[in-house]
Amino acid sequence: MTDPVLIDELKTLVEPGKVLTDAASLEAWGKDWTKHFPPAPSAIVFPKTVDQVQAIVRWANRHKVALVPSGGRTGLSAAAVAANGEVVVSFDYMNRILDFNAFDRTVVCQPGVVTAQLQAFAEEQGLYYPVDFASSGSSQIGGNIGTNAGGIKVIRYGMTRNWVAGLKVVTGAGELLELNKDLIKNATGYDLRQLFIGAEGTLGFVVEATMRLDRAPKNLTAMVLGTPDFDSIMPVLHAFQGKLDLTAFEFFSDKGLAKILGRGDVPAPFATDCPFYALLEFEATTEDVANEALALFEHCVEQGWVLDGVMSQSEQQLRNLWKLREYLSETISHWTPYKNDISVTVAKVPAFLRDIDAIVTAYYPDFEVVWYGHIGDGNLHLNILKPEDMGKDEFFAKCAVVNKQVFETVEKYNGSISAEHGVGMTKRDYLAYSRSAAEIAYMKAVKAVFDPNGIMNPGKIFAPE
């Protein structure tokens, strides 16, 4: 869509200067963190009010113009990429916290509120917003809702959908809906709020969200434990879960640790070299809890599941240990990794990882593979790193060859091809490995109801027909 007349009409719907068409802006707002699809939007529009969002959607329906929502653009599935002349709707200027209810412990946010902004606001109230991940400093609440973001605390707190009390959305038809009205109990038929969570903007745009908060955790303490093999991680998880209420349980491989240490700004947790590492976190509310954690560590060492370990003794140590895990995605981005975000039930993780690792090793014996993930909830991140002397397109083409085998294995274990990154364009051709034909047909029918003209983020979730 490059019609200057339509662009001029779009400019009348928002404040002056809030429609951009220069090349640098199209490049910046037309993409997310994926590098598979070159951005090619026609314009970027920045609404500041709900009325302006409705006007943009109605304009798009009149002229059959496709719209792509844009938040912090930290996504890893190309759900926010405008690759086919779409108009990008950026929520950067709808970024205010509108209300706080101390009694209900809820916060009303515009979609452009950054995750860390909500976390800081909660902390100021003596409360806690627990959905957390490496991109919290730039990701936005609307995008988190669109992808049902997970992160490092899911084992204790669940996904984003667990914290959405209510939504205001503008549907693909331009109608404004208020969903659930922030109620805890509401048994009045279909919960349309849940349809919009994880829909990647294909049904409509979130224009306001009421988010729940929790009590602030006390004396968070982390342990990093080195294990002799991956199979040892699961009994360690089982042992600690049996005695402690964990807030996180992560894992990463020695190759991942080597990349982190290569930065030069993060210290090694201990001197012993180990093939795999587990990072767990809990509230050391009393000395007895800390002593229990140390006793569990000694038990795991005696069983041969753990070779070495360390427990944080201060806030700074806690932050340093978390850097070993949280800095991984940013650090390996230098190698333009081919990423897969896959999940199975926790009990199936060891066998599942062995099968996937065997496939990747057989196909790519010369490629470096970095494993990490949220092992406590069954979510594994497979990262194949691009060799320095290989072009991006050639590398991604080689990696795509193995997709069928990887996703067939996901299907065999009744897993998900996308645990927390969404489907977007990178996974849309493989949706049938996680969803039945009947499910996909119903999903498409739901989209047709909310987006009758197919203007809302087309080509995402479902492959073009």
Task: Report pLDDT digits (tens) over 6-56.
Answer: 999 999 999 999 999 999 999 999 999 888 899 999 999 999 999 999 999
Task: Provide mean pLDDT across the span 305-312.
Answer: 98
pLDDT (tens digit per residue) in 207-264: 999 999 999 999 999 999 999 999 999 999 999 999 999 999 999 999 999 999 999 9
**Amino acid 412: pLDDT:** 97
pLDDT (tens digit per residue) in 74-128: 999 999 999 999 999 999 999 999 999 999 999 999 999 999 999 999 999 999 9
On the question of pLDDT at 291 being above 80, the answer is yes
**Amino acid 36: pLDDT:** 83
Task: Provide mean pLDDT across the span 343-366.
Answer: 93
The residue with greater pLDDT, 309 or 339, is: 309
**Amino acid 461: pLDDT:** 98
Buried b (16+ CB within 10 A) or exposed e, 83-109: bbebbbbbbbbbbeeeebeeeebbbbb
Strand order across the beta sheet in which 338-343 lies: 308-311, 220-227, 276-283, 246-253, 368-374, 379-385, 338-343
**Amino acid 11: pLDDT:** 97
Distance CA 98, CA 430 (A): 39
pLDDT (tens digit per residue) in 136-194: 999 999 999 999 999 999 999 999 999 999 999 999 999 999 999 999 999 999 999 99
Task: Check: CB of residue 211 under 8 Å from CB of residue 162.
Answer: no
On the question of pLDDT at 2 being above 80, the answer is no
pLDDT band at 134 (very low <50, low <70, confident <90, very high): confident
* pTM listed for this prediction: 0.95
pLDDT (tens digit per residue) in 379-430: 999 999 999 999 988 998 999 888 899 999 999 999 999 999 999 999 999 9
Task: Check: CB of residue 430 under 8 Å from CB of residue 402.
Answer: no
Average of per-residue pLDDT values in the chain: 96
On the question of pLDDT at 1 being above 80, the answer is no
Go through the domains of the chain in sequence order and give each one's CATH number.
1-216+435-465 (3.30.465.10), 220-329 (3.30.70.2190), 336-434 (3.30.70.2740)
**Amino acid 59: pLDDT:** 98
pLDDT (tens digit per residue) in 65-75: 999 999 999 99
